[in-house]
Amino acid sequence: MSITLQYVTLYKGRHLGQEEMAINQQRVFQAAEQLIEQGTEPTNRNIREVLGGGSLETITPLLREWKLLQEQSADIPNSVHVAMDHTLKRVWIEAKDHAKRTFVGERMLLEAQISKLEDELRLADEAKEKTDADIAKLQETIKAGEAAAELAKSQSAERIADLKSALSETKEEAKEARTSERDLNKQLVALTKEASELRVLAEKAQADADHANAKLRGDTK
């Protein structure tokens, strides 16, 4: 385990310029060491289970590198192991703490991102529900407007028909009134003529009566 950590540190210094890659390497190496301590052979799938996820494309080369380091460390004498043990234990503890802090930080960041996404999703759902409600309300308004327009159209048609009928009746009544007026004028002319004739007859009758009276008075004398 100690020699492995030494190689981890050396590899990190020579080959990994990005902190995220070093962290992934550390986590894979630590998972492999943990499986060894548990008496389990480190495999890609076992490593991923210990890490709680991860891409096999990322885990596979790192696990291969760990196994290579294990083979290389097997050739180092025990005296070297003992001499380096104290220093590497300290490095191991520091690396483990760093990995733990990094993991916690990443986990908190991911949880914050997940929480943010959940909030955005909730807001999107609420906005969708509101939009659906507004659309439904608008559709009801349109339906009501269409029904009102149809009713108004029907009532207008009925009113127009009634007005046309009334106008037709008025025209007919006016025609009848003009006919009645002509008849009355004719009757008036006839009555005027008859009255004139009666007046002539009355005057003649009066004249005849006056003549008869005069003759009667003459005969009496």
Cα–Cα distance between 62 and 22 in angstroms, integer? Answer: 10
Cα–Cα distance between 63 and 56 in angstroms, integer? Answer: 10
Enter the tokens of residue 111: 């949880």
User: What is the pLDDT at residue 22?
Assistant: 38
Q: Which of 18, 19, 26 is nearest to 92 (CA)?
A: 26
Please indicate, yes or no, if residue 157 is contained in any of the structural domains: no
Please indicate, yes or no, if residue 205 is contained in any of the structural domains: no
Which residues, at least 6 apart from 29, have a Cβ–Cβ distance to it below 8 Å? 4, 8, 62, 66
Please indicate, yes or no, if residue 88 is contained in any of the structural domains: yes
Given a contact cutoff of 8 angstroms between Cβ atoms, the answer to whether 63 and 48 are in contact is no
Tokens 């999703």 belong to residue:
121
Please indicate, yes or no, if residue 162 is contained in any of the structural domains: no
Tokens 């503890």 belong to residue:
93
User: What is the pLDDT at residue 53?
Assistant: 85
Please indicate, yes or no, if residue 66 is contained in any of the structural domains: yes
Cα–Cα distance between 81 and 98 in angstroms, integer? Answer: 23
Given a contact cutoff of 8 angstroms between Cβ atoms, the answer to whether 26 and 100 are in contact is no
User: What is the pLDDT at residue 30?
Assistant: 92
User: What is the pLDDT at residue 98?
Assistant: 80
Q: Is 39 left (phi over 0), alpha (psi -120 to 50) or beta?
A: left
User: What is the pLDDT at residue 85?
Assistant: 54
Given a contact cutoff of 8 angstroms between Cβ atoms, the answer to whether 4 and 66 are in contact is yes
Given a contact cutoff of 8 angstroms between Cβ atoms, the answer to whether 101 and 18 are in contact is no
* pLDDT per residue rounded down to tens, the chain (221 residues): 444 444 444 444 444 333 344 337 889 999 999 999 999 999 999 999 988 888 888 899 999 999 988 887 665 555 555 555 556 656 766 776 787 788 888 888 888 999 999 999 999 999 999 999 999 999 999 999 898 888 988 898 888 888 888 888 888 887 887 887 888 888 888 888 888 888 888 888 888 888 878 877 777 66
User: What is the pLDDT at residue 139?
Assistant: 93
Please indicate, yes or no, if residue 62 is contained in any of the structural domains: yes
Enter the tokens of residue 174: 């006016």
Tokens 């949880």 belong to residue:
111
Residue range of the domain that includes 60: 2-111
Please indicate, yes or no, if residue 130 is contained in any of the structural domains: no
Please indicate, yes or no, if residue 60 is contained in any of the structural domains: yes
Tokens 């007919």 belong to residue:
172
**Domain count within the chain:** 1
Given a contact cutoff of 8 angstroms between Cβ atoms, the answer to whether 47 and 59 are in contact is yes
Enter the tokens of residue 118: 């959940």
User: What is the pLDDT at residue 221?
Assistant: 62
Q: Which of 99, 89, 93, 101 is nearest to 27 (CA)?
A: 99
